[in-house]
Amino acid sequence: MYQWIGALYAQYRRSKQTRLFDPFSDILTEKTRKRLMDGWPGVFRHVILELMPVDAVSKQFDPAMGRPTKELYSMAGLLLIKEFMNWTKAEALDAYSFNINIHYALNLEPVAHDLSMRSLERYINLFEDNDIARIVMSEVTAELVKLLDIKIDKQRLDSTHIFSDMASFGRTRLMGVAVKRFLTQLRRHDERSYKELGEAMINRYAPGVGRLFADTKDDNSRIVLRQTIAEDMYCLLKLFAARPQHSSRSTYKALERIFYDHCEVHEKAIVVKEYSGCNSMLNTSDPDATYDGHKGPGYQVQIAETCNSENPAQLITSAIAQTAVESDTTAFPTVMDDLKESELLPDAMLADTSYCSDDNVQLAQDHGVELIGPAPKSGTTRSQDNDKLNIDDFDIDENTEKVLCCPAGHKPLSSVNSKSSGKTKTVMPQSVCGRCDFVNECPVRKNGSEYILRHNAKQRRNARRRREENTDGFRQQYRMRSGIESTNSGLKRRTGLGRLRVRGRPAVFNAIYLKIAGWNILRAAACAKMRKIVRARVRQTVCRLNFVFLAMIMAAKKVRISGKKYFCPSWRQIETFSAIDNAA
């Protein structure tokens, strides 16, 4: 009997990490308990906390000497909450120590808790080094989609720009800062070599980063200065290339990368390039950040979100963090793979022009997804009038790409498809085209005595898509796409996704995934359906507690131990179970 009760109790504690007596019962009123249960803390405690990937975290600890599992759950939960609440580390520590919301959400005792900055940073590093945030994002999303029965058949896709916590430098300042940081390291580790560089160079980079080259005002003096810095950089690179104690330092590598990003060496002459690529380093403190020509330096995230109007909440199903230079077109296959892996592929995906290249439409089809969006326009197609005849008006066999007949119903003299180039050359009879009323708007071109149409499968498909874009059916279907813009701005406003508190790829990606997971939690918490789920889970917990408690009383009676004597300190809490039940 006692073994059975002990096993039951142990199993219960393992599965839900809940105390036999609810520690919040003396602190919360029925009203405040209801507020916590109905808000995100309730969802976090009763739905999300058990999803924290403690296995991935615990692998990093010694199995014998490691911390208890409960702490791993609460620490992983704290890191997730910290990101979606956009807290600093100090704010997260305060919340963990004193905030009853957080104690409730993390299933902690409602008393002050000690947590050092060092411990918090250790867990953050662990998350960043092991890509754990991504696991959290996918686990949380999958569970919320399942619980809320979210329809994933229609989704929309977009990207949004993210600034990391780095200063934005112009080229001259960037090159100067790279030299300054290398010289700082050099002085620290090899003062003799530093002094041998000469006073002119040392003095040039002596001011602090904020005041470096502050007296250079006009364009001409800036060009001269930039040339001087480029020559200093090349001189330093050559001087220390063969000295591994210096050339293996990150400051040397940054100096080298920035030099070749911005300068070229032509027959011993150093030339500063007119333009540097978008992939060049933008700040030595965030070497991974790249540049987007329209949006600026930093990172971006590809976001796919459900958009079925029957859903109680629209959730983000996929997030792919990238640096800013990546194009939306090339990101599409990665999004499809991610959705496939999480088994959240939609039937239809709405996206803007940058995603909807013909290659991506074909790739989506291979995944059983219809990619809906405007076909990209370029060159001649940009000015093309959709009311004029185009390749879509010809009757073409889609398997062979051969033209069967023209818009006026005439058969071609020949239509030959080249397997190697994929192009089809169709020759129309001069006798019909020469006298045709549509010859000026028809895509056939007169070449000598022949009327020729050249096309490939891609042009045919794009022509068809452009026609469809002008229909009411397409507009009606496509109008749901714009809703993702409000998700992007909501993410930035609510979770601070627009400008992060961190820099460097691991930290930035970690923050992005946790903020997006948090966004899904906040959205789910706003649904009536989720509130019902949380209340049901609380009721279930109360029933289990009552059952275990009664079983213990029965066992105590059997050995003639006074239940009151042994359980009296918490006897009063039996009464509170019914209050919890009522609140639930």
Q: Is 403 in the site for ligand SF4 (CB under 6 A)?
A: no
Give the nearer residue to ligand SF4 in terms of CB position, either 13 or 454: 454
CB of 330 to ligand SF4, least distance (A): 37
Q: Is 408 in the site for ligand SF4 (CB under 6 A)?
A: yes
Q: CA–CA separation, 325 vs 464, rounded Å?
A: 31
CB of 443 to ligand SF4, least distance (A): 8
Q: Please pick, from the candidates 80, 144, 428, 525, the single residue that binds ligand SF4 as defined by CB under 6 A.
A: 428
Give the nearer residue to ligand SF4 in terms of CB position, either 342 or 456: 456
Q: Is 137 in the site for ligand SF4 (CB under 6 A)?
A: no
Give the nearer residue to ligand SF4 in terms of CB position, either 207 or 429: 429
Q: Is 413 in the site for ligand SF4 (CB under 6 A)?
A: no
Q: CA–CA separation, 202 vs 196, rounded Å?
A: 10
Give the nearer residue to ligand SF4 in terms of CB position, either 91 or 441: 441
Window of 161-169, 314-322, 353-361, 434-442 that interacts with ligand SF4 by CB under 6 A? 434-442
Q: What is the 3-state secondary structure (H, E, C) of 139-163?
A: HHHHHHHHHCCCCCCEEEEEEEEEE
Q: Is 483 in the site for ligand SF4 (CB under 6 A)?
A: no
Q: Is 433 in the site for ligand SF4 (CB under 6 A)?
A: yes
Site for ligand SF4 in 199-238 (CB under 6 A): none
Instruction: Return the SS3 of 304.
Output: strand
Q: CA–CA separation, 93 vs 284, rounded Å?
A: 30
CB of 385 to ligand SF4, least distance (A): 15
Q: Is 432 in the site for ligand SF4 (CB under 6 A)?
A: yes
Q: Is 9 in the site for ligand SF4 (CB under 6 A)?
A: no
Give the nearer residue to ligand SF4 in terms of CB position, either 246 or 455: 455
Q: Is 463 in the site for ligand SF4 (CB under 6 A)?
A: no
CB of 407 to ligand SF4, least distance (A): 4
Q: CA–CA separation, 174 vs 284, rounded Å?
A: 8
Q: CA–CA separation, 473 vs 173, rounded Å?
A: 53
Q: CA–CA separation, 55 vs 193, rounded Å?
A: 50
Q: Please pick, from the candidates 407, 498, 506, 563, the single residue that binds ligand SF4 as defined by CB under 6 A.
A: 407
Q: Which amino acid is at 147?
A: L
Q: Is 442 in the site for ligand SF4 (CB under 6 A)?
A: yes
Window of 87-95, 110-118, 429-437, 459-467 that interacts with ligand SF4 by CB under 6 A? 429-437
- Match 């790739």 to its residue by tokens: 363
Q: CA–CA separation, 296 vs 305, rounded Å?
A: 25
Q: Please pick, from the candidates 282, 345, 406, 525, the single residue that binds ligand SF4 as defined by CB under 6 A.
A: 406
Q: Count residues contacting ligand SF4 (CB under 6 A)?
A: 13
Window of 127-135, 300-308, 338-346, 401-409 that interacts with ligand SF4 by CB under 6 A? 401-409
Helices (H), 39-109: 40-43, 54-58, 69-84, 89-98, 100-105
Instruction: Return the SS3 of 55.
Output: helix
Window of 314-322, 439-447, 484-492, 528-536 that interacts with ligand SF4 by CB under 6 A? 439-447
| DSSP strand pairing (316-323 vs 263-266) | unpaired
Q: Is 506 in the site for ligand SF4 (CB under 6 A)?
A: no
Q: How far is CA 393 from CA 307, 358, 462, 463, 475, in A?
A: 34, 19, 12, 9, 22
- Residue 269, beta-bridge partner list: 266
Give the nearer residue to ligand SF4 in terms of CB position, either 93 or 444: 444
Question: What does the DSSP assignment read for 538-580?
Answer: HHHHHHHHHHHHHHHHHHHHHTT--HHHHHHHHHHHHHHHHHH
Q: Residue 452 is inside which H or E element, if any?
A: strand 450-456
Q: Is 438 in the site for ligand SF4 (CB under 6 A)?
A: yes
Instruction: Return the SS3 of 313.
Output: coil
CB of 466 to ligand SF4, least distance (A): 19
For the stretch 426-460, what's the b/e string if a residue is b when 16 or more beta carbons lie within 10 angstroms of its beta carbon? bbbeeebbeebeebeebbbeeeeebbbbebbbebb
CB of 452 to ligand SF4, least distance (A): 10
For the stretch 393-412, what's the b/e string if a residue is b when 16 or more beta carbons lie within 10 angstroms of its beta carbon? bbebeeeebbbeebbeeeeb
Give the nearer residue to ligand SF4 in terms of CB position, either 367 or 410: 410
Positions of E strands within 230-331: 263-266, 269-272, 290-292, 296-306, 316-323
CB of 442 to ligand SF4, least distance (A): 3
Window of 136-144, 150-158, 406-414, 567-575 that interacts with ligand SF4 by CB under 6 A? 406-414
Q: Is 436 in the site for ligand SF4 (CB under 6 A)?
A: yes
How many of the other CB atoms lie within 10 Å of CB of 553? Answer: 16
Q: Is 444 in the site for ligand SF4 (CB under 6 A)?
A: yes
Q: CA–CA separation, 231 vs 227, rounded Å?
A: 6
Window of 199-207, 416-424, 436-444, 531-539 that interacts with ligand SF4 by CB under 6 A? 436-444
Give the nearer residue to ligand SF4 in terms of CB position, either 415 or 462: 415
Give the nearer residue to ligand SF4 in terms of CB position, either 62 or 437: 437
Write out the residues near ligand SF4 by the rule CB under 6 A: 406-408, 410, 428, 432-433, 436, 438-439, 442, 444, 451
